[in-house]
């Protein structure tokens, strides 16, 4: 029996192109050189997708003013003129611990750095990063940990500072400033406490408890067996700014604990 397989295949494959010649050009599919009739099938090499293009250096900017009435456009103009790729801006006081746009800028810095790009955070001047040395050190340490450069456009520290190179001195300067600020605050606190003691004043504000409150609390606890929260609502503060209010349960608990500790200590003292 004659073999018609090859003839049938030829008729099926070529008939549409013979009837409609335009299909030859419209439906032409490029075929690799290894693909030809009666060739042994082999897998083609897998082409790797190119990684997304990332600039060799990414410059991210951050602008901030403390209030809605302050002008921010001059910062934006200067930052854009320096050739930044992205700009984050916000109107928020440095007294606020969580600054959303500052947090977003640092997150973007880390993301670009993870892709292998050289990243620089650009600000108009140093005080836009933080109010004090402690806040500046926090930002500086975060940038240093992922090797992100910091650049100031104006001020005494204007220029680019590389934490892994010559700019490391700036980050060490921030650390020294922060340590000095911590020592200063600690010394001022101790001096204030010492002055308060010499003047015969109590430290920590006006004491809300007194002997009458203690006696009432002991009776409610020991005789009526009420819970701390229950008998705290039956006590009243007699002095200070909170006069007429009920003390917090934590305040009552501390008052009772101090009384119990003093009573226990007195019981252990030898009788003379």
Find the distance separating the first CA and the last CA of the chain, reported in whole Å: 133
pLDDT surpasses 80 at 158: yes
Hey, what are 135's tokens? 């806040």
pTM across the whole model: 0.48
Average pLDDT, the chain: 76
Range scoring the smallest mean pLDDT among 34-43, 137-146, 197-206, 217-226: 197-206
Mean pLDDT of the region 107-127: 90
Q: Which residue has the tokens 């746009």?
A: 101
pLDDT tens digits, one per residue of 65-76: 988 788 999 999
Mean pLDDT of the region 82-87: 94
The span from the CA of 109 to the CA of 106, in Å, is 5
pLDDT surpasses 90 at 79: yes
pLDDT tens digits, one per residue of 30-69: 677 777 777 777 777 776 666 555 558 899 999 999 887 8
- Classify residue 120 as left (phi > 0), alpha (psi -120 to 50) or beta: beta
Model pLDDT, residue 145: 83
Place 208 in a pLDDT band, splitting at 50, 70 and 90.
low
The span from the CA of 123 to the CA of 100, in Å, is 16
Assign a CATH topology to domain 57-180.
Rossmann fold (3.40.50)
121: helix, strand or coil:
strand
What burial class does residue 203 get, using C-beta atoms within 10 Å of its C-beta: 0-12 exposed, 13-18 middle, 19+ buried? exposed
Residues in the chain: 272
Model pLDDT, residue 7: 47
Query: Is 93 annotated as catalytic?
Result: no
Sequence spans of domains, the chain: 57-180, 211-261
Higher pLDDT, 75 or 261: 75
Catalytic residue among 39, 66, 114, 227: 66
Hey, what are 215's tokens? 């006696």
pLDDT surpasses 70 at 217: yes
């Amino acid at each position: 029996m004659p073999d018609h397989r090859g003839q049938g295949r030829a008729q099926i494959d070529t008939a549409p192109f013979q009837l409609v010649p335009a299909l030859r050009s419209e439906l032409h599919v490029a075929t690799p050189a290894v693909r030809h009739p009666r060739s042994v099938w082999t897998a083609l090499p897998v082409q790797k997708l190119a990684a997304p293009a990332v600039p060799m250096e990414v410059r991210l900017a951050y602008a901030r003013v403390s209030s809605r009435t302050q002008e921010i456009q001059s910062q934006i103009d200067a930052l854009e003129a320096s050739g930044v790729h992205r700009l984050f801006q916000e109107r928020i006081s440095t007294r606020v611990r969580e600054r959303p746009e500052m947090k977003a800028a640092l997150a973007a810095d880390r993301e670009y750095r993870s892709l292998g790009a050289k990243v620089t955070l650009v600000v108009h001047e140093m005080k836009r990063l933080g109010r004090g040395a402690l806040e500046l050190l926090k930002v500086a340490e975060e940038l240093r940990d992922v090797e992100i450069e910091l650049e100031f456009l104006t001020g005494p520290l204007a220029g680019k500072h590389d934490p892994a190179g010559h700019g490391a001195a700036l980050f060490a300067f921030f650390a020294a400033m922060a340590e000095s600020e911590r020592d200063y605050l600690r010394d001022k606190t101790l001096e204030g406490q010492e002055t308060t003691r010499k003047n015969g004043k109590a430290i920590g504000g006006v004491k809300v408890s007194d002997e009458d409150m203690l006696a009432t609390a002991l009776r409610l606890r020991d005789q009526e067996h009420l819970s701390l929260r229950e008998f705290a609502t039956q006590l009243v503060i007699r002095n200070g700014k909170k006069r007429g209010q009920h003390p917090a349960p934590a305040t009552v608990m501390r008052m009772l604990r101090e009384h119990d500790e003093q009573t226990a200590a007195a019981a252990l003292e030898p009788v003379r």
